[in-house]
Amino acid sequence: MYSVFLVEDEIVMRDGIRELIAWNEYGFSFAGEASDGELAWPQIQKLKPDIVITDIKMPFMDGLALSRLVRKEFPRTTIIILSGYDDFVYAKEAISIGVNQYLLKPLSRDQLVEILCEVKMQKDKEAEQARYLAQFNGEIQEYLSNSRRGFFDQLVSGKHSVGELLARAERLKLPLSAECYNVILFLLEEDPVRTQYSAQMADVQSDICGCFPENKNLVMFSMGIDLIVFLVMADASSIQLETESCVECIREICQPIRKTINWSVVVSTPVNRLSGVADCYRAARKGMFYRHGAKDGNVFYVDRTALNGGPAAQTANVVDFDLNDTDAAKMDQRIVEKFLISGLPEELTTFVEDYFRSIGIAAVQSLIFRQYVVLNINFTVKAFLEKYGYTKESICSTQEKGPQLQESILSLEASEQYVRDLLEHALELRDQAVNSRYTKKLQKAVDYIKNNYSDPEISLNTVAKVAIVSPTHFSAVFSQQMGKTFVEYLTELRMEKAKELLRCTDTSSSEIAYQVGYSDPHYFSFIFKKINGCSPRDYRMGRKAT
């Protein structure tokens, strides 16, 4: 229903319009009334009616002055002016203001109803167009989100030339030309024990995504359910300033939830060429686990040189070592925990090698010390898996299938292999647990889609709310688990239902369009032909796709 507000100084006229029209019957609601523009304006600001009907000549504030205020603050509100003056000057001014209808008194009830019905048809059409535009924009955004994730994977893979990367970036309208680049990782660490965590994470991720309008200095990539990557671009003199500006925005958003959600930001070291972004990203990923960089609250700054084999990572090749010279921080259980939370299988070998070498070759050459290191990792893995609901018995039984602990410490190579196998298995169990949790959310979402596909208003946002995750979260999880985007799945479901109705009923294609969630039969026919290669009519007649 569309709400109507009436402004008329003649009480008889005002009462007649209000009482003689069956507003609900024609799809309207009578929102309120006033005797002049001055009294009407505060009420219009509060009620925000869809339609304002106003007399042109009134005391205190006339209809034209009121129309100017309405048009400026509520540009989508329809304005209908009633005038007892057949004066071209009034009409010309009304047109310049943007008044939709200019009607001369006396006006019969039927005439006004006819005009209102015309207005309603126009507003219905505008609303339909707005829905199509929102749906189209949603499809475009989801496509771009998936395309951008794929592009970033190419960017950091090191397998593509700069020319190829720039060409694809141009197709995606991503500004990538700059003197310097830096990478910032924003990580939300899920707590499997707390039931409200996912909803809170969804809110935070939505706030983060909504707070960073993209420009020539910043591009954001959502890389899944818990990681957002910011690519900062600037000239050499301002790259640090742009980086800190991004970090401060994240900190401001996340500071209020610091005690309820584990979050962290890892800031890499700038590079001066696009091909160096891959190293920049890898250093940041390592920094996510080791946190060797200077710590500032939840923000960590990575020394890329040290993490990639620079002076800080080099050790003397000697067997004897002084225990007091060994850095205990390098064996912090939280390093392994961070990897178990966020690590990827393809990072296993590098992580294990870096972990042992960061302790020091001299130290890990000692059999007793190596045994301590392996046991420490073993206990960390068990404690981590218990959080995900795995029992000590189930963890131990799976570990018995691999090499025994006694064998794993006989050499440095055996210890590294044992730890690699242990962490690989832990990552598999982690992913199974996470997928199980998200499978339940996903199944809830899929059930909702199947039960509501006929609703033209259904969207990625509405289904994400049902799953209690952010739209960005939901889009990533849905694509990963289902192998197709939300829009692709919804469209395929609608098309299958449409084909069933076309073949098994004599319902018109226009009615079928409404039944499967399309308000515009023409748009339905367009989508149907695009997906199936023939029109609904040809499909019903059994003709082959062209």
Q: Kindly list the structural domains of the chain, giving each domain's residue range(s) and its CATH number in brackets, ordered by start.
A: 2-107 (3.40.50.2300), 315-452 (no CATH), 459-546 (1.10.10.60)
pLDDT band of 182, cuts 50, 70, 90: very high
pLDDT band of 213, cuts 50, 70, 90: low
Q: How many percent of the chain have pLDDT more than 70?
A: 78
Is residue 191's pLDDT more than 60? no
Is residue 6's pLDDT more than 90? yes
Q: How many percent of the chain have pLDDT more than 90?
A: 12
Burial state string for 123-143 with b = 16 or more CB within 10 A and e = fewer than 16: beeeeeeeeeeebeebbeebe
Separation of CA 267 from chain center: 22
Distances in Å between the Cα of 190 and the Cα atoms of 96, 194, 341, 403 are: 57, 9, 8, 31
7-28 average pLDDT score:
87
Instruction: Among 88-97, 221-230, 290-299, 503-512, name the most confident range.
Output: 503-512
d(CA 153, CA 159): 10
Query: To which residue do tokens 């994977």 refer?
Result: 153
Is residue 330's pLDDT more than 70? no
Q: What is the pLDDT of residue 315?
A: 32
Q: What is the pLDDT of residue 452?
A: 93
What residues contact residue 434 under an 8 Å CB cut-off, 6+ apart? Answer: 190
352-374 average pLDDT score:
77
Supply the DSSP symbol for 271. Answer: B
Q: What is the pLDDT of residue 546?
A: 44
Dihedral angle of Cα 178, 180, 185, 186, to the nearest 10 degrees: -60
What residues contact residue 307 under an 8 Å CB cut-off, 6+ apart? Answer: 283, 286, 287, 290, 292, 313, 354
Is residue 312's pLDDT more than 50? no
Using one digit for the tens of pLDDT, what is the confidence trace for 237-288? 899 999 988 888 888 887 776 566 778 888 898 998 888 898 888 888 887 7
Instruction: Among 405-409, 418-422, 495-499, name the most confident range.
Output: 495-499
Mean pLDDT of the chain: 79
365-384 average pLDDT score:
81
Tally Cβ neighbours within 10 Å of residue 327: 12
pLDDT band of 195, cuts 50, 70, 90: very low
Query: To which residue do tokens 């691999």 refer?
Result: 402
pLDDT band of 183, cuts 50, 70, 90: very high
